[in-house]
Structure 1
Amino acid sequence: MKSGSGLKDRLVAQALNEGFVSCRVCRPWDVPAVPARLEAFLQAGYHGQMGWMAERTHWRGDPAALWPDARSVIMLAESYTPDHDPTEVLRHAERGAISVYAQNKDYHDLVKKRLKRLARWLIAEAGGEVKVFVDTAPVPEKALGHAAGLGWQGKHTNLVSRDWGNWAFIGSVFTTLDLPSDMSEVDHCGSCRACLDVCPTDAFPRPYQLDARRCISYLTIEHKGPVDEELRGKMGNRIYGCDDCLAACPWNKFAVAASDLRYASRPELKSPPLAELAGFDDAAFRKKFSGSPIKRIGRDRFVRNVLYAIGNSGLPELRPIAARLVDDPDPTVADAARWAVKQLA
């Protein structure tokens, strides 16, 4: 269904009114390089335990196959720029570092509601059919964002923009409407290696490639069971995710403030004390992280991460905290506790 530039202009204006920092359009078939890149990523085993990445690869590699009737993909960026230095907590070994995006409400719910409102507006204005996605479907969102001109995939593989840096969530609205496309963005990383050099675990085999098996975000969130001891010591006090490569990007000098107050960090999650977190049982964990994306990893994996941070702290006063968990019912937690006690002996 053909739609003119007038509708496109109104769409962009409506998206900005909803709180998005950018709205661009591409075609579902504008990412021809994705299948080969995905196959290389999977063949190298860089996905680790994320077996779901090897499923539905025909959709993950080809958005046009996900919904053959779609003619346009509306790509949207929503800022969550922190109002504080997210690396400051790394200098306080007795505290836990939580990734900025997880310091308040779950972004999946917030972004999806905004996408649905925009999609309903589009249907009311021009008809057609729509489907919305935000990080939970086999959609190559970063590649589509690059193709639509939201930004480019930087050397850390995240989307970067000259207009809003790299602190942004990406969402998409697929539609049967034929909207005018935007130009794709070109790479502006140049010779900069800031994001690569700051990585604590050397998770980038080369620029623009990520080995998730070494990424602290993967290790603290997706990885089940004990983490390799060689990597535990490099995790520092990062207990949920890692913002190092994002925070290092020079393009953040153009970062745009988050428009939704629900992305503002909860004070108690900016730098929570490790001693308190290690004492959580399942009920206390669920209560603390109600409405947070942290809740989905469960108490055991979270406390495992906290114990690694305690082991890395170098603080003897935290040794008794870890010692209380050496017989924890969860074997991975017990293993992490014994490791922490040994590190602080």
Structure 2
Amino acid sequence: MATVPANIPANTRTPPLLPERLEERLRVEARRLGFSLCGIAPATEADTYAFYQHWLAQGYAGEMQYLHTRAEARRHPRSILQDVRSVVMLAMDYGPRPLHRSLPPSEVGSFPGRVAFYAAAPDYHPFLWQRLNLLADWLRQQVPGCQAVGVCDTAPLLERDFARRAGLGWIGKNTLLIHPRRGSFLFLAALLTDLSLQPDAPFSSQHCGTCTACLQACPTQAFPAPYVLDARRCISYLTIEHRSAIPATLAESIGDWLFGCDICQQVCPWNRKPQTSESPFVHYPEWEWLDPVTILRMDEATFRQRFRSTALWRAKRRGLRRNAAIVLGNRGDTSVLPVLQQAAQDADPLVRDAALWAISRIHQRYSISAPASSNNTTTY
């Protein structure tokens, strides 16, 4: 039996005057557990599965081979729960709105690197799984013998399809789910059940209009068309999922993003004045910036201790150190040359060549002769 998280107030654990319908009681329980939105969709084939197949065929998934491997599983949620009849879609706010990022604290050094807003916090996966398990326990108590499985992000489910179908919003031109009152800074999760719950009306309208702010603001031009993301050019993909060298033209456009990116959400008009509730998800403003010099010098033990329970663990130490070198190269200050020159001797070719690229970029800025790369096949 899952335990009640400590930050759920005791006086909200038994809401008074519960509604009679199971679906409404489910929404009350979801809100009590901290979910901002809750909707129900029928468990049928995903609406955009054919588009998803085409997207994969275009090569837009980059090095994310697991998306190809489990592509067929995303056709229908029965791949997760064989007898599924309903998909309860849930959304939770990240926390305070990141429209105006906090200034980097002094301890992160002179050349701070930016971290995506959701990652300036503990890893959201176990946080949401804990609450999903509690919601599944609650549903099984209400209907003994029913099946309920909670999933978040890692399961083969086209979440945005079912979120739209459950009435939680529309898919924006930046390919993210947008709710008309809460914007797009949302975690999505799902509870699959074999119960035939009354579905909500799907969100059938589009509210992006003629706006192209997200498409125009992307530094790497990752959107070949509205509603289409080429992950191979996306800063979030490049700094997290991409495991090899980053092409030089894209490395320059990464700027000071050390992990992830928020640009297409920050410029979205629907994120300007969202109606938000107090989120139980803990956000640490001081984590929005990290020192690339410290990251580049970090050994494996320190990396594990610092990032094991955070989203940054996904990039691995070598990936984060590669990103740190790129940020320093883009910062372009000669004072970081000693640390980059040390990294250029690293045993890992990914880190070594990123450092050499950064050194070359700084040298070019100041018209200094740059050293040659140690790897003729590098894309830097």
Contact 1:100 1:265 in 2 (8 A): no
* CA 88–340 in structure 1, closer or farther in 2 if over 3 Å, else same: farther
Cα displacement string for residues 8-64 of structure 1 (whole angstroms, at most 9, x for unaligned residues)? 111111111111001000011163x32211111011000000001112322212224
Cα displacement string for residues 234-264 of structure 1 (whole angstroms, at most 9, x for unaligned residues)? 00010110011111111111141551152x1
Matched, 1:55 2:74: no
Contact 1:307 1:336 in 2 (8 A): yes
Q: Which runs of 5+ in 1 are unaligned?
A: none
**Aligned mate of 2:211, from 178, 192, 210:** 192
Measure, in 1, the Cα distance between the counterparts of 2:265 and 2:256: 17
Q: How does 1:115-264 map to 2 (within 5 A)?
A: 115-127=132-144, 128-185=146-203, 186-252=205-271, 253-262=273-282, 264=283
Q: How does 1:1-345 map to 2 (within 5 A)?
A: 6-29=21-44, 31=46, 33-85=47-99, 94-127=111-144, 128-185=146-203, 186-252=205-271, 253-262=273-282, 264-265=283-284, 267=286, 269-345=287-363
Measure, in 2, the Cα distance between the counterparts of 1:27 and 1:140: 13
Contact 2:81 2:193 in 1 (8 A): no
Cα displacement string for residues 149-174 of structure 1 (whole angstroms, at most 9, x for unaligned residues)? 11111111111001211111000000
Measure, in 2, the Cα distance between the counterparts of 1:89 and 1:43: 42
Contact 2:77 2:84 in 1 (8 A): no
Amino acid at match of 2:114: A
Amino acid at match of 1:109: P
Secondary structure class of the residue paired with 1:75? strand
Measure, in 2, the Cα distance between the counterparts of 1:180 and 1:89: 47
* CA 47–255 in structure 1, closer or farther in 2 if over 3 Å, else same: farther
Measure, in 2, the Cα distance between the counterparts of 1:34 and 1:5: 35
Contact 1:166 1:255 in 2 (8 A): no
Greater C-alpha Rg: 2
Cα displacement string for residues 122-178 of structure 1 (whole angstroms, at most 9, x for unaligned residues)? 110123111111001110001110111111111111110012111110000000111
Aligned-pair CA distance for 1:66 = 4.0
Cα displacement string for residues 266-316 of structure 1 (whole angstroms, at most 9, x for unaligned residues)? 52x222222222211111211221310111322111000000000000212
Contact 1:93 1:313 in 2 (8 A): no
Contact 1:60 1:138 in 2 (8 A): yes
Secondary structure class of the residue paired with 1:310? helix
Q: Which runs of 5+ in 2 are unaligned?
A: 1-18, 364-380
Amino acid at match of 1:114: R
Measure, in 2, the Cα distance between the counterparts of 1:34 and 1:281: 43
Amino acid at match of 1:42: L
Secondary structure class of the residue paired with 1:23? strand
Amino acid at match of 2:134: R
Amino acid at match of 1:190: G
Measure, in 2, the Cα distance between the counterparts of 1:285 and 1:86: 28
Contact 2:45 2:76 in 1 (8 A): no
Amino acid at match of 2:199: S
Measure, in 1, the Cα distance between the counterparts of 2:48 and 2:241: 23
* CA 261–58 in structure 1, closer or farther in 2 if over 3 Å, else same: closer
Measure, in 1, the Cα distance between the counterparts of 2:298 and 2:308: 14
Q: How many residues align?
A: 338
* CA 254–266 in structure 1, closer or farther in 2 if over 3 Å, else same: closer
Measure, in 1, the Cα distance between the counterparts of 2:120 and 2:279: 16
More divergent stretch after superposition (275-284 vs 130-139)? 275-284
* CA 23–261 in structure 1, closer or farther in 2 if over 3 Å, else same: closer
Secondary structure class of the residue paired with 1:234? helix
Measure, in 1, the Cα distance between the counterparts of 2:110 and 2:253: 13
* CA 297–177 in structure 1, closer or farther in 2 if over 3 Å, else same: same
Contact 2:113 2:256 in 1 (8 A): yes
Contact 2:94 2:281 in 1 (8 A): no
Q: Tell me the C-alpha RMSD between the 2 structures.
A: 1.9
- Corresponding residue for residue 15 of structure 2: none
Q: Compute the TM-score of the two structures, normalised by the length of structure 1.
A: 0.93
More divergent stretch after superposition (9-18 vs 294-303)? 294-303
